[in-house]
Amino acid sequence: MKSNYGGARAGAGRKRGVGISFDIAKHCERMLIEMLKDDAIKQKAIKQVQSKLELTNERGYLYVIKSSGLVKIGFSSNWSKREKSYKTHTPDFKLIYLVQSELSFQLETEIHEMYKDNHVKGEWFDLSDGQVVDVITYCTSKTQ
């Protein structure tokens, strides 16, 4: 007879390494390992990773905008270009906060994690005015 740790019925609960997600992950891992054997693909992958790492240290912009009752917390390396895009696609947006800093990308990630329970879609969050003030206060404390 198999041991039944914790008193749950035998076979109940999730098992590590079992299921469709595990199968997909293993398949993707094997596929990537195979692809990276090709030097050209490997070099391209290295350049893409390096580019991402450079972006995280780039002096970019962290912005907070509000539109249709939702708040977007985002990062941009070119705010004026991003602003033009919002004016075209989201004409009712209101810029709440904008700061340029080497920490912008990191701050965006931290704030998204802090408010994950308020996440709606993409970088859009359902935040109260008080929470928006908290975001601005947090960013200001980190960038000055």
25 shares its domain with 84: no
**Domain final residue, candidates 55, 76, 99:** 55
96 shares its domain with 132: yes
- What pTM, to 2 d.p., does this model score? 0.62
Distances (CA, A) of 113 to 7, 61, 73: 35, 18, 11
Question: b/e string for 52-87 if b means 16 or more Cβ within 10 A?
Answer: eeeeeeeebbbbbbbeeebbbbbbbeebeebbeebe
49 shares its domain with 89: no
Can you state the percent helix, strand and coil of the chain, rounding each to 5? 55, 20, 25
Q: Give the per-residue pLDDT at 17.
A: 57
Whether 8 shows a pLDDT value over 60: the answer reads: no
128 shares its domain with 74: yes
Write out the residue range of the structural domain in which residue 33 sits.
Answer: 20-55
The 10s digit of each residue's pLDDT in 49-90 is 776 656 555 689 999 999 999 999 999 989 999 999 999 998
24 shares its domain with 69: no
Number of domains the chain is built from: 2
Q: Give the per-residue pLDDT at 1.
A: 46
Q: Quick count: other Cβ atoms within 10 Å of Cβ 111?
A: 21
82 shares its domain with 116: yes
CB-based burial of residue 127 (10 Å sphere; 0-12 exposed, 13-18 middle, 19+ buried)? buried
